[in-house]
Amino acid sequence: MHLARLERRDETPPLINEKVLRGISTLPVLPAVWQRLLTCLEDPWSSLGEMEALIRQEQGLSARVLSQANSSFYGFSGRVTNVKMALQVLGLQEARRLCLGDGIGQLMRASRLYRQAEGQMLWRHALLTAEAAALLAREVGRGDGETAFAAGLLHDLGKVLLAACFPLAYQSVRQIQQREGLTWREAEDRLNLDHQSMGLFLAQRWGLPPLLAEVIGRHHQPQGQLEHGPTVALVHLADALVLALDQPQPGPPSPAGGAAWEHGLQVLGLGPAALEACRQGLKQRLEMLPPM
């Protein structure tokens, strides 16, 4: 793991390395709902009944599922009164994604940045990248997109760890990024930080599936001999597409328009039409984002 340094004026910069991370007693904990959802993403026998039993164990999650089912998007405002009805309105796929999104929200609520706009931005980016990954998976014919959704949702796990356990470091990176007009990774390099390495550490600590761990640890570097290379490339493209939503001109943001971007397009066989379909789909999904 790369060493991460925080510059201070009056003392030797401390190091954030694997040894430091192993010594932290307040590392984020994998939400219980995630533990079960991540193991059954590819389970063809999972059902709404199983999902209902899972959700009813979590009061906060039950409330969010009911709130989403009663949103104006579905046209049942005020008429969905229990979890079973809510799941019938949402459907199994949407319910799974809502639960996974709630998990990343739980992690963000545990960080010191939760009540700041920064926490909301992190959460929104995670959800939209998950949506983009699922849309791209559909475009290239890689299943129903559930695994891609989970990979996109968790790709910036290292940033969540940084925000939760090293908020000053996180804020320092953001300040450098904004002050000098850099990408997040360029700003990280100034402090010798790497959110990919930090995210990989936490993914391995949690025992996440190898595919998810590889996406978390390599989503900015999809080139090379990777066991799950196409999924890593897919999430890299999804990440870039979401960042591009906030740009005045369409297209991938620099440096995502470089070698890694081109590699992803080539590996997945994606052309302009497929990318534009994904962009339009993302705009529609914006209306469905549940509140954090």
Which of 285, 280, 288 shows the shortest CA–CA distance to 73?
A: 288
Q: What is the enclosing helix (H) or strand (E) of 200? A: helix 195-206
Residues 6+ apart with CB under 8 A from 74: 68, 89, 90
Distance CA 72, CA 61 (A): 19
> What pLDDT is stored for residue 148 in this prediction?
92
Residue carrying the six token digits 């990777």: 226
Which of 95, 128, 123, 124 shows the shortest CA–CA distance to 109?
A: 123
pLDDT digits (tens, 9 = 90+) for 202-248: 999 888 889 999 999 999 999 988 999 999 999 999 999 998 876 64
SS3 250: coil
> What pLDDT is stored for residue 133 in this prediction?
94
Distance CA 83, CA 269 (A): 40
Say how many C-beta atoms besides its own lie within 10 A of residue 86's C-beta: 24
Q: What is the mean pLDDT of residues 272-288?
A: 83
Say how many C-beta atoms besides its own lie within 10 A of residue 24's C-beta: 13
> What pLDDT is stored for residue 68 in this prediction?
87
Distance CA 244, CA 246 (A): 5
One CATH from 1.10.30.50, 3.40.50.2000, 1.10.569.10, 1.10.3210.10 for 15-288: 1.10.3210.10
Q: Between 90 and 9, whose confidence is greater?
A: 90
Angle at 194 between CA 17 and CA 247, to 5 degrees: 160
Range with the largest mean pLDDT of 18-32, 57-71, 208-222: 208-222
Name the average pLDDT for the chain: 80
Q: With a threshold of 0.85, does the pTM exceed it? A: no
pLDDT digits (tens, 9 = 90+) for 145-154: 888 999 999 9
Dihedral pair phi/psi, residue 5, rounded to 5°: -115, 140
Q: How far out from the chain centre does Cα 9 lie? A: 34
40 token code pair: 């059954």
pLDDT of 277 over the 80 cut: yes
Q: Between 62 and 217, whose confidence is greater?
A: 217
Q: Between 61 and 198, whose confidence is greater?
A: 198
